[in-house]
Structure 1
Amino acid sequence: MGDEEWKRLNITKGRTSYSQERIWLDEPIRSTYTVKDENLYDYNYVKVYQIEDGFLSINRFRQSIENVIKRNEIFQTELDYSLDEHGIEQIIKKSNKLNDSFEITKVDVFDQDKINEIIYSEQITKHFDLNKGEIFRCHLLKQSNKDKNRLIKNDFILLIFHHSAIDNYSRFLFLKQLTSEYQNEKMNLEENENQLRFIDYSYYERQLDLTKCEEFWQELFSDYSFKQRINLPYDNKLIFISSGSIYSFQIEKSLTRQIFRYKKKQNINFFRLFLSTFYCYLFKITQDTDFSVLGVTPNRYKSQLTNIIGPFENFIVYRHNLDPHQSFNQFIQTIDEFCTNIKENSFYPYQNLIAYARKFGSNQTPFSQVSLRVDIIDDQWNLDPENNLLLNEINLTNHREFKRETKLCPVDLTLNVKINLEKQTIQFYFEYANKLFEEKTIDTFADRFKKILEHLFDIQSNFDLDEEPIYKLSIILPYEESLINDLKVNDRPELTYR
């Protein structure tokens, strides 16, 4: 990769990054499905906050957003195909005003149905257009016209982003910059003028030599059958793409504490810990050993990239052939080393890996069966500490009032793990293709995953993490154990006395 520093370039036009290219090419494919099914939507990413304490100045907030957009040219970047470049091109068109991208609605904030309706309409909004650089909007929901320039307790802020135009870490950066602007912190203009931009990164990324990286991925899949499928217990016939649902489930607080302790003891990050656990789980429910789990990498491989807003994230495939005779602690070390090797080559464009898979007769959607996403979250936004302005994030995926059943779901089964480090909580979700799986099946999936977590980490578990092999892990549920015991009793031969 090299340690040389990348310099800011004097350009307003250039080839897109690999991630932008993938997104742009993927858009019309997704649209063909949403057009065919009026109930199927490719959701935008909506962050919903509700004021818990204090008040917000609307004028000041709007100006703060405009400053963040002015500072980050990704919000003023159009994408289109260039005949000259023979590829997708990005063009920066300067615009500092929100115009139609800022909306205020008077609403009864206690009318849950109305709030839900507004949030849903923002999730499926057609306002966004990559070709025009329209990827963000803000919608304020206020309960009173008494003070037109204020939001007060229980009012809502909706921040809506194009579903894939900026990545998860960029949304964190957006909030960080917005908070600084709202608190009137002075921005170093000279520093911003010299800072690397996303369009600069895109140029340098295209200059990278991918030869060694390509060799790594081809070696990883050298003995892999791209036509093989994981034997997931589907309820219905396989289809290419489906609507999706989200199923949330919780574990006991004591088990959560044990997982945090184990993670600290092993000195491993949460993604690698849950990837190891997910492999074991897939092995137990399928009896397969060779798994390709789709994952997401931040793809910010240089320190210069840590403060740039943009779509850096890259999909990568964690292909591993599990040895069921390893102990879990041995397996954790294996996966830790494996992920380190993956990380060193994680900038390889996902579309290149897909193209490689299709050379070997793979179907149209290789690596679309299982995926894992682990995110570190913070559900509070301390926007203005001096004035006690505190907002709570409404977690839509864990809220009964905001349940969604029509989300476009390109992966059959995704385990989503959200971790709050400050509160030491873990939330689990299965996002699943609801035309392939019945909810009762996912309910059983969740129970079995909780069972394997208990077997591995519960303080009362007698499973030896150092000695016992993975294949001895149990996903048998209590009612199944009871049934097995009953059958054993009934199968005993009758005793005869002479």
Structure 2
Amino acid sequence: MLSRNRLATGTNVHKGPQLKTSGRIQSVRYQSLPYDRHRLSNEHRSGRGTSISFDFLNYALTNYIEPEHLALAVYYMFLFKITNGERDICIGMNTHTRYKDKLKSIIGLYESFIPLRCQLDRHGSFHELVEYVQEMATNCIKYSYFPLQHILAQHSDCPKPTFLDIFLDFITIEKKIMIGDSELCSIPLSIAINEDEDVNKFDFILTIQYDLNINQFSCIINASLDLFHQETINKISRQFHSILYDLFTSVNDKMKNK
């Protein structure tokens, strides 16, 4: 969901992040997921989607890895696999929090998203990928206060970047926030309309929920039925589960042998 915040006026305060983000957007190539169908640039989106969800074991944070960065690294590895080795991958990711606490009082608390581009080393280890993602994401989040839709509006003659339809939604679940008898909850990026279908605004989303109360990750894959068959998403979800199992079993075994 794009942010709706108001920014303080100024002369060149946003020039740096504009140029950095704009240049990153314009140089990104089209990423081809294993779609069953293709949508024309002017074709109407039906909004129909499908969702696959499952849980996986907690990752031992002995290497002081932020859970959000770990999730991002896993997602890049997953996309690398299902795109037949695409090394230059750019996705959209939500930014529920601000880079610096002092900015909250200036800009307010809002939810926006930023493009995150990763150029993978096919011969590198997963730990090296995590370290690279940590540095890349930390640098990019510094400019998250400048809404992406403002940058895109300055290039209205260009079509919407396709990578913005591939998304990572990372949600941290803390203690319940109650207002009277009502619980305050965030609005999901997709809404279930029956057992097999969602109302979906993206082509492909991985939602990772990190529950601090029980220290557990939960994953949900949402995909557009305009582009994928239900059977294809079932297959992709099994691939994701297999990657997670192989990856974290290997990591846990190495940690036990230290």
The answer, yes or no, to whether TM exceeds 0.5 is: yes
> What are the residue-to-residue correspondences of 1:259-338 with 2, within 5 Å?
259=59, 261=60, 264-287=61-84, 288-298=86-96, 300-304=98-102, 306=104, 312-338=110-136
On the 8 A contact 2:87/2:121 being kept in 1, the answer is yes
Q: Output one character per residue of 1:240-283: Cα deviation in whole Å (capped at 9) or x when no partner.
A: 423233423213xxx523x1x1xx22222222111111111111
Is 2:234 aligned against 1:234? no
Query: In structure 2, which of residues 169, 183, 187 is the aligned counterpart of residue 373 of structure 1?
Result: 169
On the 8 A contact 1:396/1:403 being kept in 2, the answer is no
CA gap 1:461/1:421 in 2 versus in 1, 3 angstroms? closer
Q: Secondary structure at the match of 1:367?
A: helix
> What are the residue-to-residue correspondences of 1:323-402 with 2, within 5 Å?
323-355=121-153, 362-378=158-174
The alignment yields a C-alpha RMSD, in angstroms, of 3.7
TM-score of the pair, normalised by structure 1:
0.43
Letter in structure 2 aligned against 1:367: F
Q: Output one character per residue of 1:377-396: Cα deviation in whole Å (capped at 9) or x when no partner.
A: 25856678xxxx89798x99
Is 2:237 aligned against 1:433? no
CA gap 1:418/1:229 in 2 versus in 1, 3 angstroms? same
> How many residue pairs align between the two structures?
248
On the 8 A contact 2:173/2:213 being kept in 1, the answer is no
On the 8 A contact 2:50/2:198 being kept in 1, the answer is no
**Runs (5+) with no aligned partner, structure 1:** 1-17, 22-201, 466-498
Query: In structure 2, which of residues 28, 48, 52 is the aligned counterpart of residue 248 of structure 1?
Result: 52
Q: Output one character per residue of 1:325-354: Cα deviation in whole Å (capped at 9) or x when no partner.
A: 111111111111101110112223212432
Structure 2 CA distance for aligned equivalents of residues 460 and 217 of structure 1: 34
Residue in 1 that maps onto 2:3: 19
Query: In structure 1, which of residues 209, 221, 224 is the aligned counterpart of residue 13 of structure 2?
Result: 209
Residue in 2 that maps onto 1:473: none
Residue in 2 that maps onto 1:405: 197
CA gap 1:364/1:333 in 2 versus in 1, 3 angstroms? closer
CA gap 1:381/1:210 in 2 versus in 1, 3 angstroms? closer
Q: CA deviation at 1:357?
A: 5.9
Residue in 2 that maps onto 1:160: none
Task: Work out which structure has the larger RCO, using CA pairs closer than 8 Å and 6 or more positions apart in sequence.
Answer: 2
On the 8 A contact 2:175/2:213 being kept in 1, the answer is no
CA gap 1:379/1:405 in 2 versus in 1, 3 angstroms? farther
Higher helix share: 1
On the 8 A contact 2:190/2:201 being kept in 1, the answer is no
Structure 2 CA distance for aligned equivalents of residues 244 and 325 of structure 1: 38
TM-score of the pair, normalised by structure 2:
0.79
CA gap 1:312/1:221 in 2 versus in 1, 3 angstroms? same
Q: CA deviation at 1:324?
A: 1.0
Q: CA deviation at 1:355?
A: 4.2
CA gap 1:218/1:283 in 2 versus in 1, 3 angstroms? same
Q: CA deviation at 1:400?
A: 8.8
**Runs (5+) with no aligned partner, structure 2:** none
Q: CA deviation at 1:235?
A: 1.0
CA gap 1:402/1:235 in 2 versus in 1, 3 angstroms? closer
Structure 2 CA distance for aligned equivalents of residues 365 and 221 of structure 1: 7
Q: Secondary structure at the match of 1:250?
A: strand
CA gap 1:216/1:436 in 2 versus in 1, 3 angstroms? same
Rg larger in structure:
1
On the 8 A contact 1:220/1:319 being kept in 2, the answer is yes
Letter in structure 2 aligned against 1:212: G
Q: Output one character per residue of 1:352-377: Cα deviation in whole Å (capped at 9) or x when no partner.
A: 43246666xx5345433310001012
Q: Output one character per residue of 1:140-160: Cα deviation in whole Å (capped at 9) or x when no partner.
A: xxxxxxxxxxxxxxxxxxxxx
Residue in 1 that maps onto 2:233: 442
CA gap 1:307/1:439 in 2 versus in 1, 3 angstroms? farther
